[in-house]
Structure 1
């Protein structure tokens, strides 16, 4: 059975892709600096991603993304950008980056495709967002309750 990417592996692979796209290569120290973790943590993750076939790593050389790594890295960056774009459509677009980080690992590629279509639909005509805002939720909608003890409440009410 092939290895399934963990949240942490996805975050690293996304950053690998971003750095390679920006400068054409990546060294372990570049990754360590970009995600602000100790070089030893980076080394452990590099070995995992190398064993899983997402990168090619030889000690004292630059890290290369494999074709599989490029495909997944490109998707992870796209997913991150599209989710941020989607959350910014809302007038309640508070702390978008933190919200995206909280949900991105749990959204399937099929759901991302649907979200992308929603972005395209609403972006094609800004009046559509205003129409959506006018839609009244039914009286039994749980969003009418005071839900301040949910973790998401912190995104809206903390500094």
Structure 2
């Protein structure tokens, strides 16, 4: 799948998306986002989180200083809002499709490989699926 990311010119890898999505989720919940808390939420080592945050910072999605809080840039907020929206749409779609309360595992497995057009189409189908 990484080959498709590169061919399609995607700036964010699936791992970068996971990190940005979690930073935006934590920020929206009112948490001061620090490397150690982010790492704990993603079940990774702080050193791994720091490396990925360096990549996100270099790409202009976040800003942070060592031992400080992670701040999402305007560019990061734009992409982060979409990532959170995509996650929510997929979760609602699969719950409605499968008549379940949680499809988190399913969403986590596929969310990085569905394009914006497909997410929009799934969102438009939600009222119909929920009515069944």
The match for 1:34 is: 41
1:118 matched to 2:129: no
Return closer, same or farther for 1:119/1:3 CA change in 2, 3 Å cut-off. closer
Match of 1:90, SS state, is helix
Distance 2:65 2:48 in 1: 17
Match of 1:89, SS state, is helix
CA deviation after TM superposition for structure 1 residue 24, in Å: 4.8
**Structure 1 residue ranges without an equivalent (≥5):** 130-159
Write 1 or 2 for the structure with the bigger share of helix. 2
The match for 1:65 is: 72
1:86 matched to 2:93: yes
Distance 2:105 2:28 in 1: 23
TM-score, normalization by structure 2: 0.85
The match for 1:43 is: 50
Counting matched residue pairs gives 124
**Could you tell me whether the CA contact under 8 Å between 1:17 and 1:65 is conserved in 2?**
yes
1:5 matched to 2:12: yes
User: How well do the aligned residues superpose, as a CA RMSD in angstroms?
Assistant: 1.9
CA deviation after TM superposition for structure 1 residue 3, in Å: 6.5
Distance 1:24 1:91 in 2: 33
Distance 1:103 1:10 in 2: 12
**Could you tell me whether the CA contact under 8 Å between 2:61 and 2:73 is conserved in 1?**
yes
Distance 1:91 1:108 in 2: 21
Match of 1:46, SS state, is helix
TM-score, normalization by structure 1: 0.72
**Could you tell me whether the CA contact under 8 Å between 1:3 and 1:52 is conserved in 2?**
no
Match of 2:97, SS state, is coil
Higher Cα Rg: structure 1 or 2?
A: 1
Q: How do 1:95-106 and structure 2 match up within 5 A?
A: 96-106=103-113
